[in-house]
Amino acid sequence: MRVIGIETSCDETAVAVYDDVRGLLSHALYSQIAMHQAYGGVVPELASRDHVRRLLPLVREALAKSGSARDSIDGVAYTAGPGLIGALLTGAGFARSLAYAWGTPAIRVHHLEGHLLAPLLEDSPPSFPFLALLVSGGHTQLIDVAGLGRYRILGETLDDAAGEAFDKTAKMLGLPYPGGAALAHLAENGRAGRFVFPRPMLDRPGLAFSFSGLKTAALVALRGRALDDELRADVARGFQEAVVDTLAEKSRRALRATGHRRLVVAGGVGANRKLRQRLGVIAAESGAELYFPRTEFCTDNGAMIALAGCLRLAASRLGATRGAGGTMAGPGVLDGAGAASGGIAPVWSDFGLGARANWPLANDESSGV
């Protein structure tokens, strides 16, 4: 089974082809970062317009690199949310049109499901169940993953996401958007101990996070001081240590509470080297193993959407084989509930794009065909 995946939730246009036997066959990505940098952040209308420009060439590129003829594609998966609604609609409209023209099912994929399944693209993938620490630009969540589509949020941020805090602090340090990776680089030359920032929410039980105070603490540290290289590096180091400590301690608590033997870290902040190192130690101390996607699949990409779409399509077909109901042959649209029941609505009965700016990751609510 072969699925093409299309990602347009924010400022990356990405397309990939995934095969359930041969794995990832190709991926192509265009980042809009340079375009948005002039504004210090993503401009939604510009993002949507650029996705429209990039989608078709990227689909051609991904198909050619994968060596797939279009009649070998069994499904078109697309990010249906959460994300910028205009950006999502460009991908959804494009993907659904493609699926209709090719006579294949369209598969709505939850962006966060894509992120947390991304380590399954690697050579030694984790098996279910596992604990996932999802740390991205818009989300910070600890998720109990029992299986495909079986997700329980154990704790999440009450305010800023970890990536958002990295980006806002990086901006204060004079780094261009998105500054997370550059801040991490700067922190390498920082002195330990000059700035010891608060570890938010560690003094109370539970698995919730809060990062907005940490960003303010960095602002206070910078106030009244000349912004030289030494100060920038020391603040970056203090900030990163506080974030890593907090994420690691909550992950340790969640491992203990769930008894999971596998810890997955995914999302853009999951590319952070210090965080990976600390989580490796935490996992080892808890008798667990750490899994993460390669760096390029931590941030947004089409590979994770193609993979999630392929798993959803396979689950849906399995459901139908077992007599769970639904029409499995021919073109159709899978959604979360449809996937659970093995149902595919005929494509001509549903022209809705299914894009959702806000979409909680929860059982029966997440991706599907």
Ligand X SMILES: Nc1ncnc2c1ncn2[C@@H]1O[C@H](COP(=O)(O)OP(=O)(O)OP(=O)(O)O)[C@@H](O)[C@H]1O
The one-letter code for the residue type at 332 is G
Partnered with residue 192 across adjacent β-strands are none
| 180 contact, one of ligand X, Mg ion, none, CB 5-8 Å limit per kind | ligand X
Least distance to Mg ion, CB of residue 111, Å: 6
Least distance to ligand X, CB of residue 297, Å: 10
Q: What residue ranges bind ligand X (CB under 6 A)? A: 9-10, 83, 111, 115, 136-139, 163, 166-167, 178, 180-181, 184, 267-269, 271-272, 299-300
The rounded distance, in Å, linking the Cα atoms of 356 and 78 is 12
- Looking only at the bridges linking them, the beta strands covering 106-110 and 332-334 are parallel
Residue 73 vs 142, nearer CB to ligand X: 142
Least distance to ligand X, CB of residue 303, Å: 13
The rounded distance, in Å, linking the Cα atoms of 228 and 337 is 55
| 368 contact, one of Mg ion, ligand X, none, CB 5-8 Å limit per kind | none
* Per-residue exposure over 226-238, b if at least 16 CB sit within 10 Å of its own CB, e if not: eeeeebbbbbbbb
Residue 270 vs 319, nearer CB to Mg ion: 270
For residue 101, count other CB atoms closer than 10 A to its CB. 11
Instruction: Say if CB 160 and CB 206 are below 8 A apart.
Output: no
Residue 136 vs 246, nearer CB to Mg ion: 136
Least distance to ligand X, CB of residue 166, Å: 4
Secondary structure element (H or E) that encloses residue 134, with its range: strand 130-135
Residue 164 vs 335, nearer CB to Mg ion: 164
| 190 contact, one of ligand X, Mg ion, none, CB 5-8 Å limit per kind | none
The rounded distance, in Å, linking the Cα atoms of 246 and 158 is 14
Give residue number: closest CB to ligand X: 268
Residue 106 vs 266, nearer CB to ligand X: 266
Q: What phi and psi, each to the nearest 5 degrees, are found at residue 274?
A: -60, -40
Residue 33 vs 64, nearer CB to ligand X: 33
The rounded distance, in Å, linking the Cα atoms of 177 and 119 is 26
Least distance to Mg ion, CB of residue 247, Å: 17
The rounded distance, in Å, linking the Cα atoms of 81 and 91 is 10
Least distance to Mg ion, CB of residue 367, Å: 14
Partnered with residue 156 across adjacent β-strands are 141
Q: What residue ranges bind Mg ion (CB under 5 A)? A: 136, 300
Least distance to Mg ion, CB of residue 54, Å: 17
The rounded distance, in Å, linking the Cα atoms of 117 and 36 is 28
Least distance to ligand X, CB of residue 239, Å: 10
Residue 66 vs 79, nearer CB to ligand X: 79
Residue 42 vs 131, nearer CB to ligand X: 42
The one-letter code for the residue type at 7 is E
The rounded distance, in Å, linking the Cα atoms of 115 and 111 is 6
Q: For residue 52, how far is the Cα from the chain centroid? A: 21
Number of H helices, E strands in the chain: 11, 12
Structure tokens at 338: 């449809």
